[in-house]
Amino acid sequence: MKKHFSLSVSIISFMYAQSVFAADEIIVTATRSEMKAKEYAGSVSVLNQHQLEIISAVHPAEALNEIAGVNIHRNSGQEHLTAIRSPVLTGGAGAGSFLYLEDGVPLRSAGFSNVNGLFEGALELAGGVEVTKGPGSVLYGSNAVHGLINILSQTPTETSTYALDILGNDDGYVRLKTSMSGEALSGRYSLATSFTHDNGFRENSGFDQQKIQLRYDQQAGDWSLKTLATFQNLNQETAGFIKGVDAYKNRVLSLTNPNPEAFRDGKSIRLAVHLNKQINSQTNLSFIPYARWVDLTFRRHFVPGKALEDSGHKSIGLLASFEGTSKSIAYTLGFDSEYTKGFLREFQPGPSVFSFIQGEHFDYEVNATVLSPYTQLRFNLGAKTKLNLGARADYTHYDYRNNINSGQFGRFIRIPDQKDDYLTISPKIGLVHVINNHITSYVRLARGSRAPQITDAYSLQINQAAGEIKPETIDSFELGLKGNINTVDFELTGFAMKKDNFFFRNANGFNVEDGKTEHIGVELSFNAPLTNILELSGSFTLANHTYAFSDIVTSASSSIIEGKQIDTAPNTLGFMQLKVSPSEALNVFLKWQHMGDYFTDPGNTAKYTGHDIFTLRSTYKLGKNISIYGRVDNLFDTAYADRADFAFGSHRYFPGRLRTAFLGVKIQTN
């Protein structure tokens, strides 16, 4: 690790010796208001609307994996597992360690998160996306542990605009997007839709998905209002793991589906009203009332019992904040509140397999209340240095009611009615120093925390007892440089984190309540114009994720030993793209995506060798209002795995798609 850190520092030292010029990127996630990215003590990466349109992702991983420190594993269809400065996490850990937002409002209630939660967002319709790496600011509580992803809606235009976008391939994929924007009544609106059908490249693995988003901005006296409503529906036939050593290399096997019975159906509706009032030049008041409804049904094809799970919840909430400045001090006072009614049912229709018993596993309801006060102070320590101090408290109350007989049922334990309370305090401190007009440095210490997911707390197994699970915490230190040098925009960050009370399911499918892990790494992102027609951009991650505790079991592949690497945690990730623009109308992009090797089991006895995949993209403007675009994924037809895993005694893979060409056309009028 020391060798690589030294190399990164040497690169920056060389760059720093060159002449520089300014470029200021604006972010909104950190404070819910616009600020320069260089002024934030932390790492926030941005993909703007133009970049998202060029990528034209058919899966969130295609866009987000271009960001340093991010590793989204594709499963089947729109399924995925997320990593941000972390291993790829599953179950409650995967659902609860990352916060997914829409214009700053969580897509789901904190304890009811979805491990595949990005498919519920409207990334296809977005005006941009911001990714915060590491614990979030004081504005964000439970689930902002390893990072957060904020999907930003499109800003309505002053003049009327209309757009039609069609994308497809010869494998049965087609997506139709429409948008319109302009003035209406006393404000401005934006209406966007996306309708997708995919046959799937594997047997019985297609999906249909619809998304509709309406935004309306208006001024009501001293108040500015933004109303955002989003609807999403997914109906997916899911393909399961193929099994066997290096099974993904078998071209015939990679197209099969061992689990034709698997499926995933999910619906969600969200409504939020953003109200802001500028009281005077130094103070601002903000209220964001919101409501959501979600329902999800799927087959748990990834475990031996293959049970059906049906879950959902409905929530109301309010995000309130007051900002002000006084001389050299700026402050934010906030209070978030949310009430949720949710349920979960799990039923295994098939025969018993080991301790996965046929019949009802769980049937319960949970009412949740979350109350979260926070404060942040920002001081000027001289002309070039700013200090941020903040803290957030999250109080979570669960009222659990069991709807079936209590007791043990195979490996599953159904507990009687109970109430649980969790309180976490998350302090944050950051220091930003302006080195010159174009480069800033920062250092940040922050704690992230989360109350247990309801599945962690109430879907118990035979190695657990009710009420023993504790909130998960992570302590993070990061040090970074960002700015631009000699026409090169860059960000270099080193981080170290330690996590306690890590709750996860081990390779035998049993819950572990008190795990400890450590994470250290360095990230480098850059964008470098080479000539008038050439531009090079990239992001690279070097990291080490290790267990900081031992959990010895009978199987060597399942045993966790302190100091060993966490499974599904590659040491290296990389993205690089060369852009060629021979004319104003034509752009060509060659993209390289690197995935390093990683262990697929906790005992470090099985490994995936990693892969390097290339994508060729191009856009061509035929006229003022029409353009065509296309790409070839997996340009060299490489056999690879989107996800590799070892569990229940088997090597398991989600195979990557073979070489596939997409072609699209976009028509826009204004």
Region 297-308: what's the mean pLDDT? 94
pLDDT higher than 80, residue 8 = no
Lowest mean pLDDT among 400-414, 543-557, 569-583, 587-601: 543-557
pLDDT at 14: 34
* Nearest residue to 363 via CA among 340, 347, 350, 341: 347
Among 31-35, 42-46, 400-404, name the one with the lowest average pLDDT: 31-35
CB 607 within 8 A of CB 646: no
The closest of 521, 407, 473, 633 to 142, measured between CA atoms, is: 473
Query: Of 275-284, 359-368, 632-641, which range is least confident?
Result: 275-284
**Looking at residue 198, what is its pLDDT?**
97
- 507 confidence band (pLDDT: 50, 70, 90): low
Cβ–Cβ contacts within 10 Å for residue 132, how many?
A: 25
**Range with lowest mean pLDDT among 35-39, 374-378, 380-384:** 35-39
Over residues 304-353, the pLDDT tens digits come to: 999 999 999 999 999 999 999 987 899 999 999 999 999 999 999 999 99
CA-CA-CA-CA torsion sign (198, 593, 603, 519) = negative
As a whole number of Å, the end-to-end CA separation of the chain is 53
Q: How many domains does the chain have?
A: 1
Residue 251 has a CB neighbour count (10 Å cut-off) of 11
Please tell me the predicted confidence (pLDDT) of residue 242.
97
pLDDT digits (tens, 9 = 90+) for 106-124: 999 999 999 999 999 999 9
Q: What is the pLDDT of residue 13?
A: 36
Q: Which segment, 38-47, 84-93, 146-155, is predicted with the most confidence on average?
A: 146-155
* Nearest in space to 244 (alpha carbons), one of 229, 232, 223, 258: 258
Given a contact cutoff of 8 angstroms between Cβ atoms, the answer to whether 641 and 606 are in contact is no
| Contacts of residue 38, Cβ cutoff 8 Å, sequence gap at least 6 | 24, 25, 432, 440, 482, 483
Q: Is 456 helix (H, G, I), strand (E, B) or coil?
A: helix
Q: Which domain holds residue 123?
A: 2-669
Of 89-98, 313-322, 569-578, 595-604, which gets the smallest average pLDDT?
89-98
Consecutive H or E run containing 348: strand 329-348
374 residue type, one letter = Y
Q: How far apart are CA 301 and CA 240, in angstroms?
A: 7
pTM: 0.94
More confident residue, 77 or 327: 77
If pLDDT is split at 50, 70 and 90, which confidence band does 554 have? low
Which pLDDT band, with edges at 50, 70 and 90, does 22 fall under?
very low
Strand, helix or coil for residue 327:
coil
**pLDDT for 258:** 95
pLDDT number for residue 5: 36
CATH number at residue 42: 2.40.170.20
Nearest 5°: CA angle at 80, between 76 and 84? 155
pLDDT score of 504: 77
3-state secondary structure 159-200: CCEEEEEEEEECCCEEEEEEEEEEEECCEEEEEEEEEEEECC
Segment 462-466 shows an average pLDDT of 79
Calculate the average pLDDT of the chain. 92
pLDDT of res. 4? 40
Q: Model confidence over 587-638: pLDDT tens digits?
A: 999 999 999 999 999 899 999 999 999 999 999 999 889 999 999 999 999 9
User: Looking up tokens 């006084």, which residue turns up?
Assistant: 326
pLDDT at 508: 65
Predicted confidence (pLDDT) at residue 537 exceeds the cutoff of 50: yes
Say which residues have a Cβ less than 8 Å from residue 451's Cβ, sequence separation at least 6: 110, 111, 142, 370, 394, 396, 422, 424, 471
Backbone angles phi, psi at 527, to 5 degrees: -140, 120
pLDDT tens-digit map of 157-195: 999 999 999 999 999 999 999 999 999 999 999 999 999
